[in-house]
Amino acid sequence: MSRHHEIAPLQENMVWGYLDAAVPPVLKIASGDTVRLSSWAAADEEDLPPDRSLVDPGHLRAMRELVRGPASHMLTGPVYVEGVEPGDVLQIAILEITLADRWGFVGMVPLRGTLPEDFDAAPLVIHATIDRERRTCRLPWGLELALDPFFGILGVAPPAHWGRCSSVPPRKFGGNLDNKELRPGTTLYLPVFNDGALFYAGDGHGVQGDGEVCLTALETALSGTFRLAVRKDLDFAFPFAENASHLISMGLNEDLDEAARQAVREMIAHICRRTSLAPHEAYMLCSLAGDLRVTQTVDGVKGCHMMLAKSLL
């Protein structure tokens, strides 16, 4: 019988700005168990709201005591899943995501984002007030937006010989995918490179458009529940996801065209796995019914994803 585990939002259960296979696990679980965890907003000191009473004391303590890596993402983990070996696939069922703070921020930084030359000024941060009960936020100019929270970073540890990896660029181990489709009801599959998989989660987003064009989403703290399970029957070499209605293939590359090509190739492969269609037929189906979207254009390694309705298979 599966068990449920809780990871407290304490600094000893987190890393700041990197993923690394050498980090000792904060929890060991059996395949099929569920884990609930929280992560603080991907913030530096200048990103916090002027009213520091809004900031959870645990967040401030983590900022004081953790050694910051090359990025601002504060990640919870890693979680070791027993029985998982390199070459397996970790199945991550996203069961629940809740808002954990009443504030969030949006930021711009010189030489970053989709339009670095157009907005080459001092860093700029705005803050939004979050209504957790109504699942909305209010921006400084008065606009109220409905929230649709998701974790920007869901990943396993990178190959050990890669050493410590910045949490900014997404890679084949997942990481900073920034895919807003990774909400409750979606299952993410990640190839595994280390014993136990070593699962990390963080980079809470209250809401984000496809592209994340100015550099950030609404960065905020989230809590989430995941079911982690080993899949030894799958040979996926790249992140893939699905929900009740759609397959979701992903492509990652510094060149957005190449990211798009990879997302299409991945979808063709998944269609062929599930049907008797030949690759050229799957390619045609992608052209007729696959929605190719820009995931994000701001993390150095850019992302595209394609969505295809399962009802067509």
Q: What is the per-residue pLDDT for 69?
A: 97
Question: ∠ at Cα 112 (139, 164), nearest 5°?
Answer: 110
| Helix residue spans in the chain (DSSP H) | 57-65, 256-274, 279-289
Task: Return the CATH fold of 4-231.
Answer: Jelly Rolls (2.60.120)
φ and ψ at residue 144, rounded to 5 degrees: -105, 130
**Neighbour tally for 22: CB within 10 Å:** 10
Distances (CA, A) of 26 to 5, 47, 90, 114: 11, 27, 18, 36
Q: Just give the CATH number of 245-312.
A: 3.10.28.20
| Cis preceding-peptide flag for 70 (omega within 30 of 0) | no
Per-residue pLDDT tens for 11-31?
999 999 999 999 999 999 999
pLDDT (tens digit per residue) in 150-190: 999 999 999 999 999 999 999 999 999 999 999 999 999 99
Supply the pTM of this predicted model: 0.97
Q: Which two tokens stand for residue 248?
A: 């979701």
The first and second tokens of residue 158, run together, are 């990178």
Cα–Cα separations (whole angstroms), residue 96 to 63, 103, 193: 26, 20, 26
Q: What is the pLDDT along the chain (313 residues), one digit of tens a residue?
A: 899 999 999 999 999 999 999 999 999 999 999 999 999 999 999 999 999 999 999 999 999 999 999 999 999 999 999 999 999 999 999 999 999 999 999 999 999 999 999 999 899 999 999 999 999 999 999 999 999 999 999 999 999 999 999 999 999 999 999 999 999 999 999 999 999 999 999 999 999 999 999 999 999 999 999 999 999 999 999 999 999 999 999 999 999 999 999 999 999 999 999 999 999 999 999 999 999 999 999 999 999 999 999 999 9
Domain positions in the chain: 4-231, 245-312
